Amino acid sequence: MTMNFLKNNLWLIGGIALGAIGGFLYWNFIGCDSGSCAITSNPYNSTIYGSVMGGLVFSMFKKEKKKELDQE
């Protein structure tokens, strides 16, 4: 069951992982020093935001299985 879940959601899991890394790197190198930025002033917020955005973008590439209509 676990392997089937991983196989079916590979794009989503990869997008979340890459988004989290990207969000953390954005905070680390660009970030907001003043603390007034809601997302980029905190590494946790930036990482979570990046993982959500990565998951959303990469989930667009998942191919849906077409359901065939049974014709009688």
Q: What is the mean pLDDT of residues 34-57?
A: 91
Residue 41 has what pLDDT?
Answer: 85
Does residue 71 lie in a domain region?
A: no
Does residue 2 lie in a domain region?
A: no
The answer to whether residue 23 scores a pLDDT higher than 90 is yes
pTM for the full model? Answer: 0.78
How sure is the predictor about 69, in pLDDT bands with cuts at 50, 70 and 90? Answer: low
Q: Give just the sign of the alpha carbon dihedral 34, 56, 25, 29.
A: negative
Does residue 22 lie in a domain region?
A: yes
- N- to C-terminal Cα separation, the chain: 34
Domain around 13: 7-37+48-59
The answer to whether residue 48 scores a pLDDT higher than 80 is yes
The answer to whether residue 72 scores a pLDDT higher than 70 is no
Does residue 1 lie in a domain region?
A: no
The answer to whether residue 3 scores a pLDDT higher than 90 is no
The answer to whether residue 71 scores a pLDDT higher than 60 is no
Indicate the number of domains in the chain. 1
Cβ neighbors of 67 (< 8 A, separation 6 or more) are none
